[in-house]
Structure 1
């Protein structure tokens, strides 16, 4: 059976019109004669959406009982039994009631698709699994209902339903999305302009990736190899040489000129897995690419230009960055090289050939004869000296029975045997010596180094050429086998290194210890030159100019010259090994270890710096705040109280009863301010130290809000509660104190005669308390500053307080598991919003938070 096709309307945010668009598509298909039914559609009481549902056949929902309550869910079996051509199913990420056959609605949709029925569904971007944590970070609202990205990516069609943030907020304000009692809370919480803009960008980026995948599949299915410049992609080719850093930075600058361009780095490995490049350069260049926002790739190919272009075309690249050739002039005359060949075959892909400082230095030639050890070459030479005379003696006795071609073949066999033992040079010696012996003993005229017949001359010449060729092939095979074995060993060593570093607690120490164990060393030390030293230091510089960063084994080396082997990492770091001298062929692996050590050191230092800066910054902020408080805020009420008391005690002034009462009231008011300030200071210090006791329990909103407004200025505070509200989880005393601080602050800045509005409403499992004033307000750029302790924007008069109330209020709100954020009041002013979790319908245990620990009290 052919599976059904899936079409999804992806919403940038709730309320943009996904369900409306789905129903409109269903009506269009029905009008064209398609059998369309509504499997499950949620109108959420929106009249225009309900109008679209009128006239569409609806499959009855299935009723599920859970904890004594009946819930209506999608009836998957009924939809499959009805077998329409198209079914409309809303809210793909919905979680089914416990006891249902599938936990998620998207699993129900999979069953319907498997039955051959087309499905049209909807989902919001915040419900996609891959962006769920990002959405929570942006909006502060966790999304418990999610759908796997792969489910949406498998859809045959995904259409974005989008709306400008301002337009969506106007829709909400007009009552087209939520009920009137939820509008204020929604506009001030989830549906802020910044939140909606961020969600819109997330949806566009996610859909762009989906479209890019579809484009890639289409090109692959249709065999399209040409470049379609739908999106700028810059590919930089890395050889593993030191010039790669220059190429990566140049490619990054090219990508930056095209905003949104992708940067990709690729390294081509020969098909035999053997390469002469150093891994240290590639490790460093990979880190550089990733730090610039690019990605690193590695491909295998025998022909480098073809492999590069295949990769570039595969990723639909538009530009390719290559380094100018490092080969000498003679080599460039004999072969065009990778750069020129790639440019000639690139087609529509722009190729940039970048010059660098390594251009004129050429490539390091491979040492000839490096396939075998000296002992093997000596053994091959000895074999040639021994076998050739014996073979000559044997053939001389059989000269009457064998012809010259037979003698040549037997000498060729001897040369091959010498090549197998000793490699190229002994085999060449055997070939030349054998030709001389054949000429002297077996070629007429005998016992003379002359050749009478041209046929014999040709036979000897062919013998020398074949012997030399066979010797070269055998030697190359030995060299390749040795290199392959070494490459395999290096790969095993490096993979083991990576695993040990990932499992270890101290990455740098693990790298050094692993290196010491692998090569049987006494000690491995990472040295760093003294910061005051200028210029690069040699490996034999003064020990006093180096310091030990980390070491494994012992005793450590105090300077690079103290060890047998030194690997410079950069101008300031050297990896020094002692215990035995390591051969030059191990240098590539040692450079990889050095690069890993440098990366581990950098990560270790960044982590340490972050840990050190955090408490220092906090301590500095607290110290400055306390100094400001002692220097000004504590002294002012204390001076007022002292002046009043001194006036009362003065024998030189005769005070009447009214004056005495006024002075006493002044002293009492000043001392009261001082008492509140000291209390706030102590509570703030307890909050920062995690020592404040917070007892969270179920609190009725109607019991808390009137108490917060029951102050000296109660006549200037108006209350408004939006319908029946759920209980909140909070400490009632601290919640009253938070709201009291906010109300007092709002009254202080509100114009005379204007009331302060204190409201409470519920939305998405949370309760919001809003304190709204019509004062001068605060610019959004300064909102964070008002919550800094002892900060008073503009120092608005002596009655502005000590600048601690808002900071303390936010701290208390967060200690209760809530938030405190400012907003602009429409028409002017400032709104402070306290958000706390609602108690819900379950039996939540009361909690007490003290000394930084949370414990249940019932």
Structure 2
């Protein structure tokens, strides 16, 4: 399978950038490098200047043979930690200036000291020089798939490449092979050496692993095909969808039929392999009074359960928005329900289904009937968004203000005319609209109309209007007053909706923040719910063995049974939020649903965390017990066997004094060794159980350091500490154990003739004790594991349990010290123990 992007349009005065071709392998050994070399030979035969920048053969005969006939740019040799390594010579490749260069293993990490950390960065430099690059990479090396690959194979990939590097390639060629064929290649020795075949077949190269990796590669490349197709359609301004893959878009209204439409769309999508289900909800004032945000949320959950995706878009016209979305995602079908409105309303507002069908063009439209189709939506009379006091004031003003204005105008009727009088009454209608909303303002307009007609419009004192122009003025007055009142009422409703939405968003945001900051407990949710709605109490009840139990509560006298609550919110089948303190408004139901969902998630996360913690504890316990058993069966038996042999030798008759002294010395050394091992095990046990209680006091390092190195000759450990070193605040006995363990570890790795140096350095707030050796050191990537129990980092020749550094770090933390690892200048490792000075601010003196 090959994915190619259209050739980019040339830009004047812009240097040509080299094209990138990637051979993507579903698994190691499928033949990526061989396919790349095959392509190189084809291009070479056509007269293209092709060179090999870096190709890793892994000793495979066919790959080595296929390299013949190709020019190879010599690699550069680099030294790291005393070893020689070869890397691609990027500068030499650019200086050679070929048309095409082959670069194997795109995800490779270069040797420290190279120009770039990753080989992918070297490839970018080569492409910037106008050279085309052909490279290889396996699907398991893509950064976004790292976790999935580890779950499948159990192996964490250390070398990865960002997806964008591969996704933006000019051409991607998938190199695929069935799991059975790949296992046969492996068994025939075409992938790994003979000693590696059995282990590989039984671990990484199992049929299930290879099948899963193959599916990952196909799915990832399928998404890349979609991207390339979308890019092509945009580049060529093709707006009509191309049905490359079945995509079903369900138009979700938020009404009671939403779940029916989603299930129908899911059944349609399941008919073809590789189909995709998407639901779209248009946020707009479309006249659907029955739209329910709770139903929209349930529709969202249902779509995800069915393996689809949910999208919300904003549009003035529902049909236009749905068709635009479907066209944008290259959909092949739109599923929409029949209208729930009556024929009269459809006559004026139109129906969404026929509107979508008229605009869909080449996209199929599937109209679905449902129980709510052709039923008139019952709309409740809208309650005013204004407070009752404002409504009362508005009604009083609607009658009192026109009456007062009429009295004033009658007294001063000689100084104004009818147009002025109309404007005064209009001002009163506007003022009443601002106070009480639409209904009082309409009433004020009607009263004003009657007052103008009776008192100021000829013939005065009659309900008639002699001049048609005056009649028009009065009618315009009423129309303007009603329009203004309607606008004010609508604005007040929108303001109230915005305020309520803001409050809901703030409440849910605060709830989310409490979860993100670690307060994800049932107690935190109940407390947040009680504060948000000013309730007396909130209780989370769970059904256990036929009765209700309080899991968490907030406030005095919480409900102990759902029937005792003023408001109940269902979390799931067995858990309920019981609210006391007055019944809440129906408009608060949406936020309550959010709290219920959050509560369910909190409880589920807590259960999963507890299970994970138990599993980790069991895993650690199993690992520790395995290590202890291994240690007892090997490391502890070694000194015991030595002691047994020495004792048997001492019990033998006929020993001379020299042999007896030698056996006695051997017995003493083995006893000390066994005692040290047991002490390490006991210290680790005390640290893990929390039974260690340090006694902190102020003391000098000259009281501790000599004791820590007392068992070593002076040519092996050199103490370089000044007697003027200030006092430190620590536990002397535990500090001695820390230093002794670090010194013992350093002596074990230091070469002969290079003594370990024990130094003390004074800083303003602390004193640092450094254990410096000239040994082989520890690579930076392994230092994080140095302090894990039973770790030897390749030191298989030692006689310890691998507990020395773990115990040292644990004891250091117990006494308030820190242990850090540094490189020794000139080679080696330095372990630094930082201790607080006794005279440092905030350091207490204990006994």
Which range, TM-score by smaller chain? 0.5 to 0.7
**Aligned mate of 2:397, from 380, 383, 389:** 383
2:560 equivalent to 1:558: yes
**Aligned mate of 1:693, from 629, 634, 639:** 629
Q: Please say if residues 698 and 839 of structure 1, whose CA atoms lie closer than 8 Å, have aligned partners that are also in contact.
A: no
C-alpha change, 1:504 and 1:310, in structure 2 (3 Å) is same
Deviation at 1:362, TM superposition (A): 4.8
- Residue aligning to 1:202: 216
- Residue aligning to 2:124: 110
Deviation at 1:583, TM superposition (A): 3.3
Deviation at 1:153, TM superposition (A): 0.9
Mapped to 2, the partners of 1:183 and 1:527 lie a distance apart of 58
- Residue aligning to 2:704: none
- Residue aligning to 1:717: none
C-alpha change, 1:47 and 1:56, in structure 2 (3 Å) is same
Q: Please say if residues 369 and 475 of structure 1, whose CA atoms lie closer than 8 Å, have aligned partners that are also in contact.
A: no
Mapped to 2, the partners of 1:186 and 1:591 lie a distance apart of 52
Deviation at 1:424, TM superposition (A): 0.4
Mapped to 2, the partners of 1:50 and 1:578 lie a distance apart of 79
Q: Please say if residues 791 and 802 of structure 2, whose CA atoms lie closer than 8 Å, have aligned partners that are also in contact.
A: no
Question: For 2:169, what is the secondary structure of its paired residue?
Answer: coil
C-alpha change, 1:580 and 1:346, in structure 2 (3 Å) is same
Q: Which moved more, 1:495-504 or 1:353-362?
A: 353-362
Within-5 A mapping of 1:722-761: none
Q: Which moved more, 1:153-162 or 1:840-849?
A: 840-849
2:263 equivalent to 1:249: yes
**Aligned mate of 1:424, from 431, 438, 442:** 438
Deviation at 1:155, TM superposition (A): 0.9
Mapped to 2, the partners of 1:225 and 1:844 lie a distance apart of 70
CA deviation profile, 1:655-702 (whole Å, cap 9, x unmatched):
xxxxxxxxxxxxxxxxxxxxxxxxxxxxxx999976962239999xxx
Question: For 1:257, what is the secondary structure of its paired residue?
Answer: coil
**Aligned mate of 1:91, from 105, 109, 112:** 105
- Residue aligning to 1:597: 599
> What residue ranges of structure 2 are gaps of 5+ in the alignment?
1-14, 636-789, 811-847
Mapped to 2, the partners of 1:440 and 1:64 lie a distance apart of 107
Within-5 A mapping of 1:12-27: 12-27=26-41
2:317 equivalent to 1:306: no
Question: For 1:14, what is the secondary structure of its paired residue?
Answer: coil
C-alpha change, 1:503 and 1:363, in structure 2 (3 Å) is farther
**Aligned mate of 1:60, from 66, 74, 79:** 74
**Aligned mate of 1:280, from 283, 294, 316:** 294
Within-5 A mapping of 1:139-178: 139-178=153-192
Mapped to 2, the partners of 1:415 and 1:118 lie a distance apart of 77
CA deviation profile, 1:349-379 (whole Å, cap 9, x unmatched):
3333444445576545253352322211222
Within-5 A mapping of 1:322-341: 322-341=336-355
Q: Please say if residues 523 and 553 of structure 2, whose CA atoms lie closer than 8 Å, have aligned partners that are also in contact.
A: yes
Mapped to 2, the partners of 1:698 and 1:88 lie a distance apart of 51
- Residue aligning to 2:5: none
Question: For 1:230, what is the secondary structure of its paired residue?
Answer: coil
- Residue aligning to 1:586: 588
Deviation at 1:396, TM superposition (A): 3.5
Q: Please say if residues 19 and 169 of structure 2, whose CA atoms lie closer than 8 Å, have aligned partners that are also in contact.
A: yes
Deviation at 1:431, TM superposition (A): 0.5
Q: Please say if residues 19 and 131 of structure 2, whose CA atoms lie closer than 8 Å, have aligned partners that are also in contact.
A: yes
C-alpha change, 1:141 and 1:14, in structure 2 (3 Å) is same
Within-5 A mapping of 1:192-231: 192-231=206-245
Mapped to 1, the partners of 2:93 and 2:528 lie a distance apart of 62
Mapped to 2, the partners of 1:123 and 1:112 lie a distance apart of 17
**Aligned mate of 1:344, from 358, 362, 365:** 358
Q: Please say if residues 279 and 589 of structure 1, whose CA atoms lie closer than 8 Å, have aligned partners that are also in contact.
A: no
C-alpha change, 1:162 and 1:363, in structure 2 (3 Å) is same
Within-5 A mapping of 1:567-582: 567=569, 574-582=576-584
Mapped to 2, the partners of 1:145 and 1:99 lie a distance apart of 17
Deviation at 1:423, TM superposition (A): 0.9
Q: Please say if residues 274 and 484 of structure 1, whose CA atoms lie closer than 8 Å, have aligned partners that are also in contact.
A: no
Within-5 A mapping of 1:433-832: 433-504=447-518, 506-527=520-541, 548=550, 550-567=552-569, 574-601=576-603, 693-695=629-631
CA deviation profile, 1:752-790 (whole Å, cap 9, x unmatched):
xxxxxxxxxxxxxxxxxxxxxxxxxxxxxxxxxxxxxxx
Mapped to 2, the partners of 1:372 and 1:280 lie a distance apart of 25
* TM-score under structure 2 length normalisation: 0.68
**Aligned mate of 1:290, from 282, 304, 321:** 304
C-alpha change, 1:409 and 1:856, in structure 2 (3 Å) is closer
Deviation at 1:183, TM superposition (A): 4.0
Q: Which moved more, 1:2-11 or 1:337-346?
A: 337-346
Mapped to 1, the partners of 2:224 and 2:798 lie a distance apart of 45
Question: For 2:270, what is the secondary structure of its paired residue?
Answer: helix
Deviation at 1:437, TM superposition (A): 1.1
C-alpha change, 1:844 and 1:518, in structure 2 (3 Å) is farther
Deviation at 1:283, TM superposition (A): 3.4
- Residue aligning to 1:652: none
Q: Please say if residues 286 and 317 of structure 2, whose CA atoms lie closer than 8 Å, have aligned partners that are also in contact.
A: no
CA deviation profile, 1:276-312 (whole Å, cap 9, x unmatched):
7444333333333323322222222222222222222
Question: For 1:60, what is the secondary structure of its paired residue?
Answer: coil
Q: Please say if residues 694 and 848 of structure 1, whose CA atoms lie closer than 8 Å, have aligned partners that are also in contact.
A: no
Question: For 2:631, what is the secondary structure of its paired residue?
Answer: strand
Mapped to 2, the partners of 1:170 and 1:403 lie a distance apart of 106
Question: For 1:695, what is the secondary structure of its paired residue?
Answer: helix
Q: Which moved more, 1:444-453 or 1:301-310?
A: 301-310
- Residue aligning to 1:45: 59
Q: Please say if residues 522 and 540 of structure 2, whose CA atoms lie closer than 8 Å, have aligned partners that are also in contact.
A: no
Deviation at 1:527, TM superposition (A): 4.4
Mapped to 2, the partners of 1:333 and 1:274 lie a distance apart of 15
- Residue aligning to 1:6: 20
2:427 equivalent to 1:413: yes
Q: Which moved more, 1:410-419 or 1:161-170?
A: 161-170
- Residue aligning to 2:666: none
Question: For 1:19, what is the secondary structure of its paired residue?
Answer: helix
Q: Please say if residues 847 and 855 of structure 1, whose CA atoms lie closer than 8 Å, have aligned partners that are also in contact.
A: no
Mapped to 2, the partners of 1:128 and 1:839 lie a distance apart of 32
Question: For 2:366, what is the secondary structure of its paired residue?
Answer: strand
C-alpha change, 1:297 and 1:34, in structure 2 (3 Å) is same
* TM-score under structure 1 length normalisation: 0.67
C-alpha change, 1:34 and 1:690, in structure 2 (3 Å) is closer
Question: For 1:26, what is the secondary structure of its paired residue?
Answer: helix
> What residue ranges of structure 1 are gaps of 5+ in the alignment?
533-544, 619-684, 700-836
CA deviation profile, 1:58-107 (whole Å, cap 9, x unmatched):
32222111122221111122222333332211110111111212221112
Deviation at 1:122, TM superposition (A): 0.5
Mapped to 2, the partners of 1:85 and 1:244 lie a distance apart of 58
Question: For 1:7, what is the secondary structure of its paired residue?
Answer: strand
C-alpha change, 1:32 and 1:354, in structure 2 (3 Å) is same
Q: Please say if residues 696 and 848 of structure 1, whose CA atoms lie closer than 8 Å, have aligned partners that are also in contact.
A: no
Mapped to 2, the partners of 1:100 and 1:614 lie a distance apart of 39
Q: Please say if residues 535 and 582 of structure 2, whose CA atoms lie closer than 8 Å, have aligned partners that are also in contact.
A: yes
Question: For 1:122, what is the secondary structure of its paired residue?
Answer: strand
Deviation at 1:442, TM superposition (A): 1.5
Question: For 2:69, what is the secondary structure of its paired residue?
Answer: coil
Q: Please say if residues 4 and 117 of structure 1, whose CA atoms lie closer than 8 Å, have aligned partners that are also in contact.
A: yes
- Residue aligning to 1:236: 250
Structure with higher RCO (Cα < 8 A, 6+ apart): 1
C-alpha change, 1:60 and 1:493, in structure 2 (3 Å) is same
